A and B are shown apart, each in its own frame.
Chain A
């Protein structure tokens, strides 16, 4: 900005100087003309006329004879001239020479005419100096004003920015101090700071979710894996205390292997749940026909169902009537395409089917239904067993949670937790509802568009 002001100043000064030069040149031309036409007398007359103070001109004239006595003009005596580099002469106008408002500089050129007569034509630079000073003041004050406004604005803006950054820092401090639920406040303006805050908040949410998952796994290990490990240990200890017997040792070792396998399965399930809840990057999402997927599962479980005296049926909502799997020709129903990881989903849904088969008494029916509901594909596993009381339907999704009635049956209480984690990872939802009578587990997955 300073450079710009300097440029403006320089341009103006050059322009006004050039104008002064041109004015003097024009005067000289005019006077020379008069002199040529009317001689010295004419020149005196013109000079007298032009130097009349009434005209208020800033031009200076002085015509002197050979002894430097003034003949005409508005200067009282021949001044002390100093020749400048640009060819002009400068001299000081002081009191007595012309005007009474202090000394100022004048610019002039001189000629020697016939008979030793000398002519000085000049211009008082007071005006141009005043003009120049005015410009300096104008430019200076506008520069100062701009600077001031810029400063105030800048301070204001950076204060606001700093306040927002401060809010982020304070949130960071609070979170480090243990308040994990704290979030950066949003202004609601949607500016860069808000977007940054939203981004950081989303990141914090994700971290909190992961941490909660990890914490739950550690809690689970502490509470639910210690007791089976303890049982395992005491069984081995008992065997060692008893009378040595190869037969007895074999038996205990076999039981130990079975129990260790059970523990390993529980571990695997816990890790799988944690991974699914964390939004595993391992999942291999690919197009998957939910109808064919259901058919494959029914194919796997149908003999086991029959063995238990249950009917396992597959219905397609478009077909709407129950049909045993054998009667269902492959590829008859319209495809229900979702995006999913077949291995993860099959584990999840197999858990639902196994639950239904396990808790439905002989003679009952387990019906798998696929269909669409708006933009969601649905797979429902319904049974006509004892069902789950409404108050418990949400709690059974918790890890290791088991209903009183089912504590004695086999199972680790992780099946539904895993199913829910996997389905959620696929952007879907899983709910348990009343099947009048019995229970129906409904899995909804977004249809692939």
Chain B
């Protein structure tokens, strides 16, 4: 995938570009807002990682300019401003996701992957299939092979989100934001417990587990 990184801090940019390249992406870098906007409008990218505070042009203004010219490349906004209000403003301007600095690279990577998939998909599905797992979004039922699996509403939402990102790492923070709509770091292992309950239901009694823990990063649902 081809990515654009717009970041003025040289060290932060180098770190980002290196990390993204090592993950197998092609990466272009712009060091200020104007250059970023020119690159973003003249070339095609699969996703843009955009720092919010830039010399020359505000990050939000770039997103707004892109959207105004009918460019819908997914944008992940990076910001040192950690206020729910700022997050809301960033998303309103047309950003697709918002991550506060400093961040863990694994978190950033997982979010970019998620954005790339969202850009590819976009169609409204009624059924999700991951390996032998089948999720009916209308009937709210789940089957693994022939067996029907009973899930609580929150377990269903959790599984749906994992399935939409099947094959990719999903972080605890992403789950907390997307499934519960909370933006804080729980001190306890709440998410882990939810995952292990879900794992009990979908993996117990099957030879191959589908719900994997990725150490230091998060979770991943894979077709067995």
Could you tell me which A residues sit within 8 Å of B by CB distance? Answer: 254, 257, 261, 264-265, 268, 271, 275, 280, 282-284, 296, 299-301, 303-304, 306-307, 326, 341, 343-344, 346-347, 350, 354, 357-358, 410-411, 415
In contact, B88 and A284 (Cβ under 8 angstroms): yes
Cα A254 to Cα B193 in complex, Å, equals: 23
Chain A residues within 8 Å of B197, by CB: 303
Assembly CA distance A85 to B189 (angstroms): 115
Please name all residues of chain B whose beta carbon is closer than 8 Å to the beta carbon of A307 when the two chains form the complex. 193
B102, B104, B182, B216: residue with the most chain A Cβ atoms closer than 10 Å: B182
Contact B182 A343 (CB under 8 A): yes
CA distance A358 to B86 in the complex (A): 32
Task: Give CA–CA (A207, B104) in the complex, Å.
Answer: 37
Task: State the CA gap A303–B152 with chains docked (Å).
Answer: 12
Whether the pair A300, B190 counts as a contact (CB closer than 8 A) is: yes
- Shortest Cβ distance from B65 into chain A, in angstroms? 25
- The answer for the CA separation of A275 and B190 in the assembled complex, in Å, is 27
Which A residues are CB-close (under 8 A) to B183? 343, 347
State the Cβ distance, A150 to closest chain B Cβ, in Å: 57
B69 to chain A, nearest CB (A): 30
A354 and B85 contact, CB distance less than 8 A? no
Question: A264 and B184: CB pair below 8 A?
Answer: no
Measured between beta carbons, the chain B residues less than 8 angstroms from A296 are: 180
CB neighbours (8 Å) of B85 from chain A are 282-284
Known A303-B197, A304-B188, A343-B182; contact A268-B88, beta-carbon cutoff 8 A: no
Q: Is the CB of A350 within 8 A of B154?
A: no
With A300-B190, A304-B188, A344-B84 given, name 16 new contacts (CB 8 A): A254-B216, A261-B104, A264-B102, A280-B83, A282-B85, A284-B88, A300-B182, A300-B186, A301-B188, A304-B189, A304-B190, A341-B84, A346-B182, A346-B184, A347-B183, A354-B187
A281 closest partner in B (C-beta): B85
Chain B contact-residue range equals: 20 to 34
Interface residues of B (CB under 8 A from A): 82-86, 88, 102, 104, 152, 154, 180, 182-190, 193-194, 197, 216
Please report the number of residue pairs spanning A and B whose Cβ atoms sit closer than 8 angstroms: 60
3 tightest Cβ-Cβ pairs between the two chains A and B = A282-B85, A347-B184, A303-B193
**A411 neighbours in B (Cβ, 8 Å):** 187
A60-B188 Cα distance, complex, nearest whole Å: 122
From B180, which residue of chain A is reached at the shortest CB distance?
Answer: A300
Contact A350–B186 (Cβ < 8 Å): yes
CB distance from B106 to the nearest CB of A (A): 11
What separation, in Å, do the CA atoms of A326 and B151 have in the docked complex?
12
Pull 19 A–B residue pairs with CB atoms less than 8 Å apart, ordered by A: A254-B216, A261-B104, A268-B82, A271-B82, A275-B83, A282-B85, A283-B85, A284-B88, A296-B180, A300-B182, A300-B194, A303-B194, A303-B197, A304-B193, A343-B184, A347-B183, A350-B182, A354-B186, A411-B187
